[in-house]
Structure formats: C-alpha cells, structure tokens
Amino acid sequence: MTQDLRLAIAAELSRSRSRTALLTGAVDDDDLTRQHSPLMSPLVWDLAHVANQEELWLVRDVGGRDPVRGDIDELYDAFKHARRDRPALPLLNPAEARAYTAQVRDKVLDVLDRVRFDPAERLLDGGFAFGMIVQHEQQHAETMLATHQLRTGPPVLTASPAPAAETAMKDEILIEAGRFVMGTDTEPWALDNERPAHTVDVPAFWIDAAPVTNGDYLAFMDAGGYDDPRWWSERGWAHRQNANLQAPLHWIRDHNGWLRDRFGRIDTVRHDEPVVHVCYFEAEAYAAWAGKRLPTEPEWEKAARFDPATGRSRRYPWGDDPPGPRHANLGQRHLGPASAGAYPDGASPQGVHQLIGDVWEWTSSGFHPYPGFAAFPYREYSEVFFGGDYRVLRGGSFGTDPAACRGTFRNWDHPIRRQIFSGFRCARDAA
Ligand SMILES: [Fe+2]
C-alpha cells in the first residue's frame, strides 16, 4: 500500500516535471527571462518558484533536511513581490534555475523513499504534502501556458487538434430542487478550501448543457452587446469602457469576420467551440442579454457531482474514475477547448456536458470559506483570499492537469481577468 503510494507520487512528480520542462524548454533564454505581460511572471521565475516551494515543503518540512538554497526564499515568495516587479529581481538565470530545480528534486525523491505516510500527521496522511506540491507545479504549468499565450513570436507549442462534436445535446438541463453534499472530506489531495463536506439546499434551476460557444457569443456581439449598457452591471460597464472591451482577448478583427491568435497561430474563430478568454463582466453581460444569469458555485457543483439515482455526490460528473482522454479535455493534450458535445462519456448523469476541462467556468459566487473551514497547511493558500474581489471559477480548462482538477476543485480570480483560460455557461431559475 505504502509502496503503491510512493510509486504513484513519484509518477505524478515526474509527469509534472516533464510538463514544466516542455513549457520552459520550448523557448530560448531570452524568452524565459523576459516578461511577456505585466500580468505574468517571467517563465524563469515560475521555474525556480516551483522548486523553491518543493524545497520548503518536502525537503525542509517533511524531510527535515537542511536548506538547498536558504538565501533565495524571499525572491520566490509570491506574497513578497507582485508579478509586475519580478523581472527586476536578482533571479536565478535559466541555467541556475534548472540546476536548482534538479537538485531539489533529487533530494525529494530521497525523502519520498524514506517517508512514512503517518495517518496521524495530516501533512503526510495519504501523501498530502506531495500531492499539494504536484498540484502546485501543475497550476504553475497552466500559468506558464497562459504566459505562452501572451508571448509574441513564432509558435513553439504543438498538440493534436481537440476532438469534434459527437453528440447533439439539449440546450438546458433542469436540476431539481433539493439538498446535496458539496465539498469533500475524503479526497486525499483536496486543498483546504474544498473542505469540509457539507449539505447545501439548492432551489431548482436550469443550466446550459454545454459552455457558451463562440457562435453563441458572436450573436451577442452582433446584437451590439458590447455597446449596450443594459446588459452590463455598473462595475462591468465601467470596466468595459475603461478597458475598451470589444471582443474576447486574442480575437482579431478581419475584413470578413473574426480571427483568433492561439499560441502564435492565427485561425478563424470556430463557432462550435466554447468561448475562452472572457472576463467575469463579459460573461455576466452575455448571460443578461440571453435572459439568463451565471450559475452560483453550489449550482455548478450540484450539476457536476449530484447523482439523483443514489443521492450521492460523485468525484467527477461521469463518476469516481479519474479523468481519462475520453472524459474531458484536460492536461494540455490539446491547445484549445473542444467543440461542444465532444465528450459524451464525460457528461453528468443528468446530461450536462464538459463541466470538467475545456474552459474554466465563471460562477456568480465570491470566494468564501465553507462552514467549518480550517486553514491547512498555511493561511496563505486560501484564507487570505476569502472575501476579496474575486469570483470563483470551476471545472478546469484544456490547460489544467487532471491532478489539479476535480468536481470539488475551486479556482478564483479578479472579475476583470481574462488572460486565463476562462469561459462560462449560463443558468436560470426554474420557478
Ligand atoms: Fe505558487
């Protein structure tokens, strides 16, 4: 049992490192150290930061070993320096960052060989600290992928095209009123903000069977949605004016329609794919124009996890099996969202599609603790963000690794952000 867990952790550590290596190896040193957007760190910062967190938690804390580089903690502390300021720091250069990363990983594998997964120690139970570090690296890999999207220059990433639609779907699905269990006590690698499991009573609602597509979104644009304050909240309209929003990020107006820049490749906007790179305010305006609203976070999770036949909440919409290629578009297997209807095997029991993967979905909920929340293992993971100017996003994107995505996983960001792989689906009251 312990040996199986050790092997599973080693495999996950190696998978996350291959992805980091791919994303940082695809560009030259100049691209690694340059800042591609004030919203993002230089890639070389992410690289050494991933290793520094790994050193702090696994080498020093779990392993009880001496620091590898005690002198650089401050440089790679995300709370000490805003992303925009990171290029000016005396960061490790690419060769130094790679050497540091490898040195830390060597020690971690040694710690892993000897560690006892003592159930009495929360950090070690089920390999939690290792799981947290795997998820951290995968989350930074998604951030690095978003940096790649903001980078200019010839394309350097490749992947097979996402699958086409297989299924015709209903437009909306009715989720009956009633209680369901939200959050988890049993997912071994779930983070503090996903805990504890608790019962929530949700009134009946309709939810879109698929994320809003580019075709849907173009109808909003063609109807003058960006120029009509009726559809926008007060804050949303102010932001639309200030930022001069006119289309999703990375869309380019062409004489006969819209194109998009995806990782340096220019292509026509595909109507059947979920819209991506929209901020919360754009999602909110679209929903109002469509006579709907965004789902709340409990509505989203109920649609994704509740099985009316058993009354149980599943780990994923399709059941408890971990995500495979037929379930969801995750893990950068493709470099964009798949057509609506491309993953019939990943649908929920009630027929809601693509809740996991493709695009992060904005919900109307702010980021708050569940009743009974306890910060673990540190306040800075979630607690310091509660109640801030954030909206919760759910479900993961094509750039989210399965290790950092489940039915309970919560992401949050400022409502103006759209460099992330964010889309949405709509809901409405059933009354
Ligand atoms: Fe981080």
Judge whether 208 is annotated as a binding position. no
Instruction: Indicate whether 55 belongs to any domain.
Output: yes
Question: What CA–CA distance (Å, rounded) separates 425 from 213?
Answer: 9
Do 272 and 386 belong to one domain?
yes
Domain end residue (candidates: 108, 129, 150): 150
Give the Å distance between the CA of 253 and the centre of ligand 1: 35
Do 170 and 100 belong to one domain?
no
pLDDT for position 168? 82
Instruction: Indicate whether 281 belongs to any domain.
Output: yes
Q: Does 221 have pLDDT greater than 80?
A: yes
The predicted-structure confidence for 346-377, as pLDDT tens digits, reads as follows 999 999 999 999 999 999 999 999 999 999 99
Do 333 and 218 belong to one domain?
yes
> How many Cβ atoms are within 10 Å of 220's Cβ, its own excluded?
21
Domain end residue (candidates: 150, 175, 198): 150
Cis peptide before 308 (omega within 30 of 0): no
Do 195 and 311 belong to one domain?
yes
The predicted-structure confidence for 108-125, as pLDDT tens digits, reads as follows 999 999 999 999 999 999
Task: Answer whether 334's CB lies under 8 Å from 273's CB.
Answer: no
Instruction: Indicate whether 155 belongs to any domain.
Output: no
Do 220 and 366 belong to one domain?
yes
Q: Tell me the CATH number at 250.
A: 3.90.1580.10
Question: What CA–CA distance (Å, rounded) separates 163 from 39?
Answer: 31
Residue range of the domain that includes 423: 160-431
pLDDT for position 166? 80
Give the Å distance between the CA of 50 and the centre of ligand 1: 7
Spatial CB neighbours of 48, under 8 Å, sequence gap ≥ 6: 72, 75, 76, 91, 92, 96, 97, 100, 101
Give the Å distance between the CA of 57 and the centre of ligand 1: 12
What is the rounded average pLDDT of the residues 256-265?
A: 95
Give the Å distance between the CA of 136 and the centre of ligand 1: 6
Q: Does 338 have pLDDT greater than 90?
A: yes
The predicted-structure confidence for 68-96, as pLDDT tens digits, reads as follows 999 999 999 999 999 888 888 999 999 99
Do 254 and 131 belong to one domain?
no
> pLDDT confidence of 294, banded at 50, 70, 90?
very high
Instruction: Indicate whether 288 belongs to any domain.
Output: yes
What is the rounded average pLDDT of the residues 15-36?
A: 97
What is the rounded average pLDDT of the residues 269-298?
A: 98
Do 117 and 191 belong to one domain?
no
**Mean confidence (pLDDT) of the chain:** 97
pLDDT for position 256? 84
Domain end residue (candidates: 150, 180, 196): 150
Judge whether 413 is annotated as a binding position. yes
Give the Å distance between the CA of 382 and the centre of ligand 1: 12
Give the Å distance between the CA of 76 and the centre of ligand 1: 9
pLDDT for position 282? 99
Instruction: Indicate whether 111 belongs to any domain.
Output: yes
Instruction: Indicate whether 260 belongs to any domain.
Output: yes
The predicted-structure confidence for 147-171, as pLDDT tens digits, reads as follows 999 999 999 999 999 999 887 889 9
Judge whether 185 is annotated as a binding position. no
Instruction: Give the bridge partners for 238, in sequence order.
Output: none
Q: Tell me the CATH number at 63.
A: 1.20.120.450
Domain count, the chain: 2
Q: Does 31 have pLDDT greater than 80?
A: yes
Give the Å distance between the CA of 49 and the centre of ligand 1: 7
Judge whether 250 is annotated as a binding position. no
Q: Does 1 have pLDDT greater than 80?
A: no
pLDDT for position 155? 96
Quote the pTM value.
0.97
Q: Would you call 306 helix, strand, or coil by DSSP?
A: strand
Do 293 and 401 belong to one domain?
yes
Question: What CA–CA distance (Å, rounded) separates 382 from 51?
Answer: 21
pLDDT for position 431? 76
Q: Would you call 203 helix, strand, or coil by DSSP?
A: coil
Task: Answer whether 392's CB lies under 8 Å from 256's CB.
Answer: no
Do 204 and 96 belong to one domain?
no
Do 283 and 136 belong to one domain?
no
Judge whether 195 is annotated as a binding position. no
Do 140 and 176 belong to one domain?
no
Do 303 and 351 belong to one domain?
yes
Give the Å distance between the CA of 149 and the centre of ligand 1: 19
